[in-house]
Amino acid sequence: MNEALISACQLFLIPATLLFGALGVANTRGLKFLVCVLGVATTGLLLYRVWYWTGLSLIDRRTALGLAGLFAGAWVITLLVQVKNMFSPRYSDRR
């Protein structure tokens, strides 16, 4: 695999993974939403970077796009859940 591509994937996927941990310890809805936006932006940048990378072999491009797509999908689903939670009443408020 292309060494520059490995470095680029690490550059984006390590922060995206750390953001999942940050999402777990965030204690307010607003903070969770912000972490989700950062996760979507980080994986979006990786998708953009790999998509327009010239000189990659087909297998390297597909592998990197698959990894980026996996993280992007997870972040988009997480963001949608947070948006739903922001606009729904809290469970403890329902009586």
Whether 55 shows a pLDDT value over 50: the answer reads: yes
The tens digit of pLDDT for each residue in 33-49 reads 999 999 999 999 989 99
User: Across the chain, how many H-helices and E-strands are there?
Assistant: 3, 0
User: What is the pLDDT at residue 52?
Assistant: 92
Quick one: pLDDT at residue 2? Answer: 78
Q: Which of 13-17, 41-45, 60-64 has the lowest mean pLDDT?
A: 13-17
Q: Which residue has the tokens 């970077």?
A: 49
pLDDT digits (tens, 9 = 90+) for 65-88: 998 899 899 999 999 999 998 888
Contacts of 5 (CB under 8 A, 6+ apart): 50, 53, 56, 60, 64
**Domain chopping of the chain, boundaries:** 29-85
Which pLDDT score is estimated for 92?
Answer: 54
pTM of the model: 0.82
